[in-house]
Chains A and B, each alone.
Chain A
Amino acid sequence: MQVLTALHTDVGIRKQTNQDSLLLKVAQTSVGKVVLAVVCDGMGGLEKGELASATVISAFSKWFDNDLPPLLQNHNWNEIQARWNLLLKEQNQRIGEYGKRLNINLGTTFSGLLIIDEHFFLIGHVGDTRVYKIDSKLELLTEDQTLVNREVQRKNLTPEQAEKDPRRNVLLQCLGASRVVEPQFISGIPTLHTVFMLCSDGFRHMISKEEIYQAFAPEKLMTEQQMKNKAIELVELNKVRNETDNISIILIKVD
């Protein structure tokens, strides 16, 4: 399997700090190419949001280096979800206790994608960062764990109203501030000629689905440089349109 990747993050036009944290790891292993990509959008005011998102990124980085290789050796794909679940709950606990000790509220979202060559992929998800799949169309794989999404499902809001609702930034679930985290998991077998996109919510409020698809359709991304350029282009477009949040994106193309 061939893998092309790119990532870009920007503090945005308003904020003093970038609380988004990203992780992108690619390894050549005995079972083929393995890719881990994670986007975390931290919150909690000032530098604390960064701390929360970076803590989770660092935990997953360590997991990739230390705990994943034996699982790969034994082809234990199906065990990975349980490990992630445990890892996320542990992070929720740790960040939550830290916040309690300092009497502050901090936390982070989490959207992670693991691809094990053509054998397996796993998505884990908490909060409102997102994972999209782009092949012949743009498809949102994760479900926002937000108040407005909940209201849309309860038919109290239309999706259009939800976009404009002042509560659109209110999360139902996040690592560090939820009593019980219930991550969403999706797994399967990756299809080739596909682009996976992970992004923070700052990336998607101001640009349309069509614009995303036009920029990142698989046939348009032939080199990593092209991918990086397109990513920067859309992040800049967001800023021009007055997005105030931090903006982050990871692109992974598998062929």
Chain B
Amino acid sequence: MASMNRIIDNKYEILRMIGQGGMSKVYLAMDSRLNKQWAIKEISRINKNGFSEVNLKAALDEADMMKRLDHPALPRIVDIIQEKDVIYVVMDYIEGEPLSKLLENGNAQPQEQVIEWAKQLCNVLDYLHTCNPPIIYRDMKPGNIMLKPDGQLKLIDFGIAREYKENKVGDTVNLGTRGYAAPEQFGSHGQTDARTDIYCLGMTLYHLVTGRSPAEEPYGGVPIRELNPILSSGLEKIILKCTEANPNDRYQSCAELLYDLERYDEVDDTYRQNQKKKLKRFGIVSAAAVFSIVFGAFAQVMNAQKVNNDYEVNLDLGDTATTQEQKINYYEKAIDIKPEKHEAYYALLTTFKDDASFQIEEEQILKKKINRNLAELVETDHYSDLAYEIGKTYWYYYDYGSENTDDNQLTRIKAAKTWFSDVVEDPENEHYAQAKIYESIATFHEEVNLKVEEASDQGMYKEYWDNIEALLDFTIENKNESEIVKLEVYKLITNALENEVRKFASDGIEKDDLLEVFYTVRSLVDELDVSTDKTINLKESITSRFDEVVKAIDTAFIEQ
């Protein structure tokens, strides 16, 4: 054994031991003539346990073969010294640290960096595999890869008297020492080839990019994005292909692997989707071009025929008509042609709301069209969207009963309820939450009088208040809501505060909560610019109640 300060072959002074395996030791040595540092690997026939296990002749042959290798990522062998029972292999001393050091404490390495390393490693493996005869490294793992201060990698612990070769078949081993090894490296019959190195490289990349050793849960067996979803799906596919159990399913050469590594982002799902989209867009344009030609010919044939039965045509005519009657007329016709299509109903509703009121005659028309086709409509896709629109039309615009009293709000709310109930049937609907609130408020108004008579109304008001607050919240969120809708919501709240404040108080709602909502509503009303007679009146009537609301809140809490 080389002891410290010993001089080998009259020129290499042993400075210290820098590595140790079962069958070999590596020392840092100083070349006294060149004044240069080398690493010296000592392979002893008598290992530290006194058993003779190393075939020195084989080691010598291997060292001779390796001496001829010349690649920037491989340490050069500069000298081989043979003594009785021991061989010294003198090679480049590589400064830097092994990648395993970077991985301590589970530090995953940046993806871009890992790809760059992967290319370097692929390159050196390709060099080895294309030697004649090919050289299989067999022991690719982070502990065997040195990162030099200049950022380049070097493979160390090169093939001489590698320990696992001495592992007897059938000995129990822990995965910790074998985690990077390919399935064919276990047992006696395994044939290792270039694809074995590709497997080990895949496992090494897995460890580098996830920070998880393949010897730890989940033992390298899962796609990398299950451990870190932000990693590239392209890299994931590459690593999965490298680590296929069957060598035939892996990359068959490093050149193949290198090709994919250089295009890993193109293997990405997002990239593929973009490509698909591009293809689709191209397809649509081509299809449109073909269609134009065909349609041009078709249109000539159709030209003479009457087209006013057509659904689309009636819709278009409705859109361009100038009077309400005409519009309604066309939309009704459209509905009659295709009662299962929604567009005409929406168009009809918009027309009804144009004058900011959904009048009784208009409601008759809608009812006539809807009720006749309702069974069919309910079955159509997105029916709940239509129901929501109808519900809102009733809630905010319905005119019924307004000629008798100033406020028909309760009538409107109750009339709208059944439509919101239809929306609530469909939890997928984007307005599901709002519909539920509308329905709850409507239910409250339907039931409250009865409950008051029964004196069982306690507890209802808390829920009502919560719903009102929610209604206010989403009205504020939805800035595009019409003046009418906004004002109606403010009115509902102002009315509730003025009339039900005692009930709110007795149901445990804090004065501050009520005031906070009130102040919000008040400033919203003040800020709102109104443009029509109806909304001007509405705003005035709400504003006129503010003083009363404040009084009502004050008295309610004084009484308590």
Contact = CB atoms under 8 A, between A and B. Distances in A.
Nearest to B213: A179
Contact of A171 (B20, B174, B245): B174
Interface in B190-231: 190, 213, 215-216, 219, 221
Interface stretch (B108-116, B175-183, B281-289, B550-558): B175-183
Q: How large is the interface on A (under 10, 10 to 19, 20 to 34, 35 or more residues)?
A: 20 to 34
Given A46-B51, A103-B20, A154-B221, A167 B183 contact: yes
A156 interface: yes
B172 interface: yes
A136 B43 CA distance: 57
A112 to B, nearest CB: 18
A147 interface: yes
A147 B175 contact: yes
A172 B216 CA distance: 8
A154 B21 CA distance: 34
Interface in A149-176: 150, 154, 156, 165-167, 169-172, 174, 176
A93 B222 CA distance: 28
A111 to B, nearest CB: 13
Main secondary structure of the interface of A (DSSP, over half): loop
A128 interface: yes
A117 interface: no
Nearest to A47: B49
Interface string A44-56: 0111000000000
Contact of B172 (A14, A171, A176, A178): A171
Nearest to A154: B221
Interface string B351-382: 00000000000000000000000000000000
Contact of B190 (A103, A166, A172, A179): A166
Nearest to A182: B217
B189 interface: yes
Interface string B162-191: 000000011111111110000100111110
Interface string A162-202: 00011101111010111110000000000000000000010
A104 interface: yes
Contacts of A174: 174
B171 A169 contact: yes
Given A46-B51, A109-B172, 10 more contacts: A45-B171, A47-B49, A103-B20, A105-B177, A107-B174, A165-B186, A166-B186, A166-B187, A169-B173, A170-B172
28 contacts: A43-B171, A43-B172, A45-B22, A45-B49, A103-B21, A104-B22, A128-B172, A147-B219, A150-B221, A154-B221, A165-B186, A166-B169, A166-B186, A166-B187, A166-B188, A166-B189, A167-B183, A167-B187, A169-B170, A169-B172, A170-B173, A171-B175, A172-B175, A174-B174, A176-B174, A177-B174, A180-B216, A201-B172
